[in-house]
Structure 1
Amino acid sequence: MTTSPRPAVSVLMPVYNAASLQRDGQSALESAVQSVLAQQYDSFELVAVDDGSDDDTLRILKSYAQADSRVLPVSIPHGGIVAALNAGLEAARGRYIARMDADDTCHPERLALQAACLDASPQTGLVSCRVNFAGDREVNGGYARYVDWTNTLLTAEDIALERFRESPFAHPSVMFRASLIAEHGKYADGPFPEDYELWLRWLEAGVNMQKLPQTLLNWYDPPTRLSRTHANYDVDNFYALKTRYLARWLAQNNPHHPEITIIGAGKTSRRRANLLREHGITIRCWIDVDPRKIGNIVDGIRVCGRNALPETGKGFCLAYLAGHGAAEELEPFLAAKGYRKGIDYLLAS
């Protein structure tokens, strides 16, 4: 009995009832598989984990496996995305793990470029890429703006400092070293987005992450996407997860810990920032530009104008700004005052 050589890259693709989704007259699942098999890179396997589908998903995957030995179908009882991801990690043989979803497509050079980056940068643990938002920008403008924002985060520094605003990666765009699983743990199951939790955990452990400037993935936005339908991705769960990691970051990096100044005094901003108080963080004051709010006492804390911002080196500010473009307006103002991101302030929403 012969064993095929160990591939450099294992493409991990969890699949659940994906056979019926059609795009441009073809099954989206088949488009995804074909985009992987068309890679300009030889040393890979596609670990396609069927999460107990009750449609033709497994049959389709097995038909590809019969035609191409690089396709490895794995069938498990239905257990959800985390169970499927971790089953795929167990089956994967590559030294690098590339994520892929069954309703997206990747560009032919994706694996080659990402693997080359990890080969050339031993200090880099994870590399992503820019993605093309392939959904409807008019209907799903918020999601499109999120994708545009992630595409601005290329350096390890930007990714690390921006991670408390949103997840800095489209999950199916990443490739990471398989050794990170043994070092820092696999996907965790709980009331939170499993990918964001993994990035926060690994970044906290010091894993270096970067993003290639090339656009190498078409990220579609079907109505069945888990981030739209599953309770784990609910906004309250998202902020509970983020707050837990943010509180630990502040304890390690805020020289004025546990005191912070919160920029943003709207109802939503206060609700999110108040979660930090459950972790022992003390809020010095709220900062806002709305004259109707300035001078009020809300949640036991005074609302002040921007003139109450601490001098550089004498306080740490955390910005919770929900409005579109608000953070982009704030940062030049703070820079003009000499504030440095990660030292004097951080954006948290």
Structure 2
Amino acid sequence: MTPLVSVLLPAFDAEPTLVPALQSVRRQTEARWECVVVDDGSEDGTPRTAEAAAATDDRFLIVRTPHRGLAAALATGLARCRGRFIARMDADDLMHRERLARQVGALEADASLAAVGCHVRLFPRAQLGRGWRSYERWLNAIDSVERVRAEAFVECPVAHPSLMIRRELLVEFGYRDRGWPEDYDLLLRLLARGHRVGIVARRLLAWRNHPARISLTDARYAPASFTACKAAFLAAHFLAGVEEYDLWGYGATGRTLRRALLAEGKRPAHVVDLHPGRLGQTIHGAAVVAPDEIPRLPRRPLVVSVAGAGPRRQIRDALTAMGLRELDDFVCAA
């Protein structure tokens, strides 16, 4: 029988966490699944652990490849997926038992949705610092198609191990390795083409945070790589057709994004700032102005690059009160 959902699960040296990850797939209330486990050239007991699961449940399919990295492993696994929907999963995470059922339900209820994510719970809790807890709160505050799109340049608004996507779209877009996160790249390409990505607003994924996680050890997932990804998509879409834009914020976040956009041929004409020592000055040729001067400036795309959800909320409210529209006139990009 053809499965309804293909769980696409790459694994590299994941022996310590793979058993509970696969058990969480097995206990799903939606039973019409297959799980394609791609062993990316592991040197530990990952292949043996995966084969043991397949020996007791033929819904597990094991694919072994030489070690080529995550994007290649995902592409290899995708070619073996047969389900109408593809659910991403990592070898160190845990699914809530209703994850597949609820995400399938969301996609079947709304044919306009290309994909859905869900809320997450980072664990183990004792090891989470303030930054990770703040990130979790931000991620779990995203609860609609509109919020996914509005937050897309702040950070990746969908935890990729929580993604479920229609198979035909993932086959069309695929995974690619551009030197930045392949999951963020996929999401931004989907949004750039006008596809709607929603959120099932329940914590359906336990997302393991540990020092060996690939997002913490691989340069493709470093902050600079995320910024390069944002800048490339901003330049190609929101800032397409212009060389100059206005930049709100010149702290560390704004400075980093300015440099990345400069590499894409985009430079700020004005910097909007509240610091009294900067007002009336110039920064790299851009005049520094106060927020209340925005309505008198020549109309240009405005990029808000400010850290912190609270300050961004205040800026959004202020710009909306000026008659500017988010995603048309301005975008937030942390």
Same-fold call, TM cutoff 0.5: yes
CA contact (8 A) 1:10 1:97 kept: yes
Instruction: Report what 1:285 is aligned to.
Output: 270
- Distance in 2 between the 1:16 and 1:117 partners? 31
Instruction: Report what 1:88 is aligned to.
Output: 77
Instruction: Report what 2:52 is aligned to.
Output: 63
Letter of the 1:337 partner, please give it.
M
Task: Tell me whether 148-157 or 171-180 shows the greater mean CA deviation.
Answer: 148-157
Give the 3-state SS of the residue equivalent to 2:280 in structure 1. Answer: coil
For residues 186-239 of structure 1, the C-alpha deviation after alignment (integer angstroms, 9 at most, x for no partner) is: 110131011001111121122211001121111110111111110101222211
The alignment status of 1:156 with 2:145, answered yes or no, reads yes
User: Offset at 1:128?
Assistant: 0.9
Q: How does 1:38-49 map to 2 (within 5 A)?
A: 38-49=27-38
Instruction: Report what 1:119 is aligned to.
Output: 108
For residues 69-88 of structure 1, the C-alpha deviation after alignment (integer angstroms, 9 at most, x for no partner) is: 11111111111111111111
CA contact (8 A) 1:312 1:338 kept: no
- Distance in 2 between the 1:310 and 1:318 partners? 15
- The size of the alignment, in residue pairs, is 334
Q: How does 1:1-349 map to 2 (within 5 A)?
A: 5-19=1-15, 21=16, 28-136=17-125, 139-183=128-172, 185-251=173-239, 257-310=242-295, 314-323=299-308, 325-349=310-334
User: Offset at 1:267?
Assistant: 4.8
Letter of the 1:336 partner, please give it.
A
Q: Which runs of 4+ in 1 moved over 4 A?
A: none
User: Offset at 1:124?
Assistant: 1.0
Letter of the 2:5 partner, please give it.
V
User: Offset at 1:15?
Assistant: 0.8
Give the 3-state SS of the residue equivalent to 1:309 in structure 2. Answer: helix
CA contact (8 A) 2:238 2:301 kept: no
Instruction: Report what 1:24 is aligned to.
Output: none
Consecutive unaligned residues of structure 2, counting only runs of 5 or more, are none
CA contact (8 A) 1:126 1:177 kept: yes
User: Offset at 1:148?
Assistant: 1.6
Letter of the 2:6 partner, please give it.
S
Q: Percent identity, aligned pairs only?
A: 37
- Distance in 2 between the 1:43 and 1:55 partners? 30
- Distance in 2 between the 1:44 and 1:281 partners? 46
CA contact (8 A) 1:96 1:176 kept: yes
Q: 1:102 to 1:267 in 2, by over 3 A?
A: closer
Task: Tell me whether 323-332 or 82-91 shows the greater mean CA deviation.
Answer: 323-332
For residues 217-275 of structure 1, the C-alpha deviation after alignment (integer angstroms, 9 at most, x for no partner) is: 111101111111101012222111111111122245x8xx4442110123541331243
Consecutive unaligned residues of structure 1, counting only runs of 5 or more, are 22-27
User: Offset at 1:324?
Assistant: 6.3
Q: 1:191 to 1:263 in 2, by over 3 A?
A: same
Give the 3-state SS of the residue equivalent to 1:131 in structure 2. Answer: strand
Letter of the 2:329 partner, please give it.
D
RMSD: 2.0
